[in-house]
Amino acid sequence: MYAFAGHKPTPSSTVQPSGGTLRFQRCCWCTDTVMRPRLLCPSCGGADLGWESSTGVGRVHSWLKTPRRGHTPSVAVVVELAEGFRLRAQIVGVRPGDVPVGARVRFDPFHVAGDHLPVFRVEPTPVSPPNR
| Closest approach of Zn ion to the CB of residue 51, in Å | 15
**Of 9 and 42, which has the nearer Cβ to Zn ion?**
42
Q: Which residues contact 99 (CB under 8 A, 6 or more apart)?
A: 60, 77, 91, 105, 122
Q: Which listed residue (30, 40, 82, 94) binds Zn ion by CB under 5 A?
A: 30
Contact (Cβ atoms closer than 8 angstroms) between residue 67 and residue 75:
no
Closest CA to 76 of 116, 16, 33: 116
Asked if residue 44 binds Zn ion (CB under 5 A), the reply is yes
| Closest approach of Zn ion to the CB of residue 64, in Å | 27
Asked if residue 49 binds Zn ion (CB under 5 A), the reply is no
Q: Which listed residue (15, 34, 35, 41) binds Zn ion by CB under 5 A?
A: 41
Closest CA to 41 of 29, 53, 55: 29
Asked if residue 29 binds Zn ion (CB under 5 A), the reply is yes
The CA R_g of the chain, rounded to the nearest whole Å, is 16
Binding site for Zn ion (CB under 5 A): 27, 29-30, 41, 43-44, 46
